[in-house]
Chain A
Amino acid sequence: MTTTTMSHDEAHHHGAPTGWRRWLYSTNHKDIGTLYLLFALTMLFLGGASAMLIRAELFQPGIQLIDPDLYNNLVTNHALLMIFGAVMPAAAGLANWMIPLMIGAPDMALPRMNNLSFWILPAAATMLILSFVVPFFPGGGTQINTGWTIYPPLSVQVGMSMDFLIFAIHLLGISSILASINIIVTLLNMRAPGMTLMKMPMFCWTWLVTAFLLILVVPVLAGGVTMLLFDRHFGTSFFDAAGGGDPVLFQHLFWFFGHPEVYILLLPSIGVLSHVIPTFARKPLFGYRSMVGAMLAVATIGMVVWAHHQYTIGMSLGAVTYFMVGTILISIPVGLMVFNFIATMWRGAMTFETPMLFAIGIILMFTFGGLSGVMLAVVPADMQYHDSMFVVAHFHYVLMPGAVFGLFAGVFYWLPKWTGNMYNERLGKIFFWINVIGFNITFFPQHFLGLAGMPRRIIDYNVMFTEFNVMSSIGAMIFGLSHLLFLYIVIQTIRGGRSLKKSENKSWEGAKGLEWEVGSPPAFHTWETAPQIK
């Protein structure tokens, strides 16, 4: 542990430590990256199971499987598990694995803190799961029936499980802030000599901006939920009109975090795309500079348009006009990004391995989600869409392709690098098609449900909404179960064996960058001497 002697120091330049200590005590970015990814995969299945239970309940009108409070509890937990448990840790896992390899650094800048930011996550997950199960114990109070937005006064009514949830959010916040500090410091301080910021791989750029956003907005969420905690237990009245507070204040604090959070989820995947598309189109990324500029613009505008999640709370004409125009303007940098990706594909020599299939899927479906986003940005029309199933469809079209498919693309793209084995391409392609078709069957009909008048977060609906709900539920089962195939492919690739090809150092013909110069799998320590960049 304490290593004040020199002899110890030499030891860690060799192979990996063994046994459980390797993982629990790790200070190695690759091991910690693996831990992040495994954690995310576990949470993906927990969140997915809750989603499938929700859709199973909605398969038919009436209340068949679960009671309304459990339903709302699942709605809450599905969101939190997916956002904080699956997507963010998976993106952090990619960052941990790839950033030091890409910039020629020996490890993350603060390796011990890196391990802390990972290990807080299981603690947070424990609290989150406790918040779900505590009501089932005697004296455990009522279930969390508020949705992940935990708006007061409803969240003040909930029993002790809400306190577990609030503390889980605190832990998740600490973890994200520590991880972000580490990533920013690594990117600013650890780049190989000669690698200027404008030569940095795009994935690193996206994470720099993401980490910056996290550091700025997560503390605000922490402040908001702390105020909620005080309102619940210590008699304050931040969100109580009788004492001069305002329930809407919480919504402002929440969405000041919540809207940038959308970009926090999206940007790392945009970064993955910026590597996948050039590799498989066999030509350089189109518009590197405009990409960086667009990303900075998205982050900046994204910080100041949060209230478009609350158009219906009663804001003055001036305020809604400002938030509407700001939100619509986001389409400019986002449009530029999508354009750059298409222009990278244009006149390339494309092949369609699984990562590229996901990339093209993202471009098409994310554009779709983005365009329904522009519709939602229009205040008067949002008076109709708000809190309907249309919104559910919209943000799943943004977050599934925009964030999760990007992560899938990243995993397939770098899995050969991590394991040294090529995954089974045939199975990868099958997974892509089942996944994408299942996804569309699930969420496309929800647009119509929303327009026809079905609110979101209801357990029971009128018979007029039956047909589309049946479709959506069938799609959800296909979509949900398809991830078992993903699990199988990943395990198969990790285990290797004779049926799989070995990966070369450069796993893909068109791949470029420092990460392809180290071995596949890379040695336990890489780039102990930094490469020189021309």
Chain B
Amino acid sequence: MDLESLYQEIILDHYKHPRGRGLREPFAVEVHHVNPTCGDELTVRVTLDGDVVTDISYDGQGCSISQASASMLHEQLVGGTVAHGLATTDAFLALMQGRGQVEPDEDVLGDAVAFAGVAKYPARVKCALLGWMAWKDAVSQAVASETPEVAP
């Protein structure tokens, strides 16, 4: 009965038909993240053009939640600004860590609100976050490497 709230139709759709899956060139930064409790892994590449995220490509293996989450992240963030991507990530993180008590903001999260049900299953939160934490890591590195060194 709760199973449908966890596995929303749109999540299963992203799982079975992942958007933007596969690693592509060129890219600014590549990261590899694992979930040590279950062995799920994800490689994420981020490509920027100035302030715009021009591509997030990814590949890995994992459960429906982790893979669908990466697919949705690709769909939500590519084409937007880095600031938009990070703000969306913060909102997603807050939702996931809210134990089901945080009201999701669809204006910020878009289709990713479908993951609201995951927050009620603490063991699956890390699955949903795998791609988002990897992207956040990659984009932070990319932004840092593009920031010109300021002479002291």
* Chains A and B form a bound pair: no
B interface list, Cβ under 8 A from A = none
| Residues of chain A at the chain B interface (Cβ within 8 Å) | none
